[in-house]
Every structure is written in structure tokens, then in C-alpha cells.
Amino acid sequence: MSSTQLYDTIGATYTATRRTEPRIAAQVWAALGDARTVLNVGAGTGSYEPADRDVTAVEPSALMRAQRPAAAAPCVAADAEHLPFADQSFDAAMAFATIHHWPDPIAGLREMRRVARRVVVFTHDTSDAGWLHRFWLTRDYLPEVGDLRVGRPSLTDLAGAIGARVEPVLVPWDCVDGFFEAHWRRPEAYLDENVRRGVSVWSRVGADAEQRAVRDLRDDLASGRWAERNRDLVDLDAAELGLRLLVA
């Protein structure tokens, strides 16, 4: 299944759990600097589009485009790898939580670099051998997530393709954008089918792995095993879970 077909299949309930997290948005918007015109690539329903700039969105999935609010920025149907814009036509191009879906992320990043003077990308670091162990959900319940990075470029390769610097992005304990890592201090949330349906990882690992992970987590929450294993998290307000901003 292509990445566009995936979102034409799983995207129907996206806005139930996915929305702009203001603290992460502030970091993204600061990285955009003084850009007046901004291209948002893989824009989905419009989260993280700065209201005070002139935004153009690009989104290949018709189902995702259809869920954009009426007042959202104009949206063009296209792939990151083939942006239908002239060289240097935007002050900045941004991409949030999307490049892991692109068939050729390096080509997409080079396209962003071609059409914009500044590039800001929110993604995650899969290049560290220990990444799987930073987050209890992948470490203890869903190691299959590791298979999803096979054949994908490392963060170093991605950053190198556009000459980007890398900034860590911490995840607040009460993060309001329900991406995969968002509920790191609220484990019961992952038992909720609606929470899982807003995150493509759960569909990509397959129903068997999903059901096993949820069953094991439910058992460990009930027995106190989760609390015992993760007692260090209770006092943290934000966690470093390998999320990164590339800024070029």
C-alpha cells in the first residue's frame, strides 16, 4: 500500500486525536524565523500551520485534504518528491510528522530545499541503536516498530541531504497532539482504540502485534508491573524520546 493510500484508508478519524501541540508548535515556528511565505508539505488536516504567515499546503491524500477546516490555508494535491513549484518560491518549507511516510524522503527533502530558502522538518531519530529502548512502549510491548525503520535513511543521512542542524524536541507529559509517543506518562491512553487509530504505526505493525501489545499493557497496568518498571517517569514533565527538528 502506498503512503497516500494508507492515509486514504486510516485518515478518517485523524482529527479526533491529532491537533496542534502549542509547545512544540512554538519550537517549529521559531525555527521558521522571519519567513513570510511558508509551504507545509504532507500537511494533513493543517496542524502546525502558523496563522500569522502566508501558508500554502501540499497533501496527497484526498481524505486528509477533505478534513482541512474551511479557513485553513489553500492545499495542493501533490507528493513531497514532486513539488509543483518554481525554485526558491517560498521563504520556508516545513514538514511535520510526515517524512517517515514518503517513499523517498531524501528526494522530498531536496525538493523542499529547492523551492524554499529555509527548511524545517519534525521527525524522529532512528539512527541510534538504542532508540527502541528510549520509549517503554516500543521496548516492552511493540518491538515490531523496529522493523519499520529497515531500509529507511538515518537521521544523519536526512540532515546531511539538506545541510540541516538537529534540535531535540521534548514531549510534554500532557502533549495534546496524539502522536505515537504523546502518552508516555499516560499509559492507559494506549488501551483506547481511538488513540491508536490516530497513529499509523499501529496499522503498520499489523493487528496481531497490536492486540498482543494492548493485552500485555493492560495486564501490566492492572498488576502494577508497568508502574514498577517506569517509576522514574512519574516526576518528569517532558521526555526525550528521540523526536527531532531538522533546520536548514
Ligand X SMILES: C[S@@+](CC[C@H](N)C(=O)[O-])C[C@H]1O[C@@H](n2cnc3c(N)ncnc32)[C@H](O)[C@@H]1O
* Span 151-190, contacts to ligand X by CB under 6 A: none
* Span 53-82, contacts to ligand X by CB under 6 A: 59-61, 64, 79-81
* Span 7-36, contacts to ligand X by CB under 6 A: 7, 18
For ligand X, the binding residue among 24, 31, 35, 44 (CB under 6 A) is: 44
C-beta separation of 39 from 119 below 8 A: no
Say whether residue 123 binds ligand X (CB under 6 A). no
- Distance of closest approach, residue 124 Cβ to ligand X, in angstroms: 12
Say whether residue 131 binds ligand X (CB under 6 A). no
Q: Judged by CB under 6 A, which stretch of 45-53, 85-93, 113-121, 236-244 contacts ligand X? A: 45-53
Q: Are strands 238-239 and 54-58 parallel, antiparallel or unpaired?
A: unpaired
- Distance of closest approach, residue 3 Cβ to ligand X, in angstroms: 3
**Site size for ligand X, by CB under 6 A?**
24
Question: Could you tell me which residues are beta bridge partners of residue 120?
Answer: 94, 247
- Distance of closest approach, residue 219 Cβ to ligand X, in angstroms: 29
Dihedral, CA of residue 213, residue 152, residue 19 and residue 138, to nearest 10: 20
Q: Judged by CB under 6 A, which stretch of 2-10, 128-136, 137-145, 212-220 contacts ligand X? A: 2-10
Distance CA 230, CA 70 (A): 43
Say whether residue 242 binds ligand X (CB under 6 A). no
Say whether residue 213 binds ligand X (CB under 6 A). no
Say whether residue 3 binds ligand X (CB under 6 A). yes
Q: Which residues bind ligand X (CB under 6 A)?
A: 3-4, 7, 18, 41-45, 47-48, 59-61, 64, 79-81, 96-98, 101-103
